[in-house]
Structure 1
């Protein structure tokens, strides 16, 4: 048998590499076509589609690496698969900020020893959680977290489970906290503890059906372009949106006559960072607003999220804590986790939910836990 020379070996190696690249390109192109169909994604120009396909390919490699690195968590393509990491952070997440410290008297703590917590508990099973929502292409997670806490509190006060207006909070809340430099900034982010204070000040909240969500619909039918809230603080929030429509803004849309009768926020409380205390208060109070560093959640699909490092002092996303549980690994180990309701739609994660490791302050999940306090009716 004839032997290949050096030149022949180089040719075969290069040719095999080219075949692999072509095969990879074809496979990626097929996946991209399927993904576009699933997510109803259309692009305005061929150049935009080429750029998005290149990003999609990069993300396929990123997902492959994440799955190799984190065996207990599964990552996959979703609606964010044509977004770069930078774009995801700028469009979906909030500006990262450290967790604010509140006055000591604000914090609820567990009384005495805690020995009787169940291994698992979830307020979803008790009817206190509304269906998954989708914030779309706006940094409005903080308003969803606020409203979903309020929905749970209203239900637990023995009222029907009701979808409340997220858009009212996005459009109208201009609260600030000069001591921490935090502010509620509409589509650019905010804090549930400040939003609770807004709802207290304004006197109530409308139903979702009366003041529907529209600011994050990304140009689809029903999208609105509200102007900033009346006292929007540009020094804390950054420049306001460049285009807005006054008739789609708080001044035109808010109708206090449609506030839900009897639903009034009288105060708010923070929860101590001890995660046993958080579990006690979660079971006692109901679903809680929480915040975390969510940079690595872009392609989360299922399993317990426990990255090697995500900065707990850099919070960029607010969500709803609904419960907890324990996963048993194939080695018989127990892995405790929190159950979190996200606001990225049902196609993301586990039908809109995710699990995150419990007991270690993962990604700062325990640093900004809060709830509204309602007037007793």
Structure 2
């Protein structure tokens, strides 16, 4: 009887541990003030005046409540915690870090790679272990994720071709890519968002890419040293992108900065391909092709900390963020297993799981399977 009771107690403890809140932050002003001070020191945050700092504290306090609510809603699932986005509201996060929400593009049938899935996929796979993925970058306060996603794919394609893994220039695409798809209602709009499939077309037209070191990223530095005042790219479509930033520094524009003599020798994009929404096919193509560019609804990822993300509250048809699919796996828990994708983000290495996140695989979570593309390199 005693043994049975002890066993019952152990089960209760395990259940409590699984479903306990991973984070519960104080929501009163006094304790939140101490937490805000510690958070500022950790992330090196400084504000130009007491007035601005007071405004930021109010946002911070509101975000503590947001994080507590998210952890309560996702018990036993992903965990959410304070990070460097804690002083911007969810609304500001959507308007500066994410892109305007848009529906997945429709591609012609011939764009899709056609290949039957013959072999059963392994339980896990990860291109990072095969040196096909560069280090995590930080887009800063700009909606330039689409360029990071494109470049991540092309870096992988270059390495897959047997070349040295190279950091290609994201800023070149942000500054210079004014491609448009008028029929589809899409365009590449610099810091206001864009599409990887159009970015491949820009690289094809330009004839190549410079390296990150030769054409370094400066769009999203938020006024820090090295920040550039980005001018609209040649061909910027006002009707599809909206009005450009009213001020810019032409000496920092694509026209002045692009140097084709510094294009990486031998690098050329011949075309681009799309991949089926079937996630079994996506896993197969990921293993065959290399890291893939994908888009999704990332509104709820602002405070993601770790775990396999899944939510009833994200959209499968309204996308606002582009990222890089690098692998997949299975998380085996006490009561269930979770199939997931491993995804490289562009919010810096201190965000999430060292700059990466995992998201549920097999259910089209947050639309991650709806705009999967890859560039195709030529000889």
**TM-score, scaled relative to structure 2:** 0.92
Query: In the alignment, which residue of structure 1 is the partner of 2:96?
Result: 91
Assess if the C-alpha contact under 8 Å between 2:27 and 2:64 holds in 1: no
Per-residue Cα deviation, 1:47-106 (whole angstroms, up to 9, x for no partner): 111111111111101101111110211000111101111100001000100001000110
Query: In the alignment, which residue of structure 2 is the partner of 1:355?
Result: 358
Query: In the alignment, which residue of structure 2 is the partner of 1:12?
Result: none
Query: In the alignment, which residue of structure 1 is the partner of 2:320?
Result: 316
Q: Distance in 2 between matches of 1:222 and 1:159?
A: 30
User: In the alignment, is residue 110 of structure 1 matched against residue 99 of structure 2?
Assistant: no
Q: Structure 1: which 5+ runs fail to align?
A: 1-21
User: In the alignment, is residue 77 of structure 1 matched against residue 82 of structure 2?
Assistant: yes
1:1-377 alignment, distance < 5 Å: 24-71=28-75, 72-111=77-116, 113-331=117-335, 333-376=336-379
Structure number, greater radius of gyration = 1
Assess if the C-alpha contact under 8 Å between 2:27 and 2:61 holds in 1: no
How far the C-alpha of 1:23 sits from its partner, in A, is: 8.8
Q: Secondary structure at the match of 2:240?
A: helix
**TM-score, scaled relative to structure 1:** 0.92
Q: Structure 2: which 5+ runs fail to align?
A: 1-25
Per-residue Cα deviation, 1:81-137 (whole angstroms, up to 9, x for no partner): 0111110000100010000100011011431x4442100000001000000000000
How far the C-alpha of 1:178 sits from its partner, in A, is: 1.1
How far the C-alpha of 1:32 sits from its partner, in A, is: 0.5
Q: Distance in 1 between matches of 2:246 and 2:56?
A: 25
Assess if the C-alpha contact under 8 Å between 1:107 and 1:271 holds in 2: yes
Taking only aligned residues, the RMSD between alpha carbons, in angstroms, comes to: 1.1
Assess if the C-alpha contact under 8 Å between 2:27 and 2:65 holds in 1: no
Q: Distance in 2 between matches of 1:23 and 1:260?
A: 52
Number of equivalences: 353
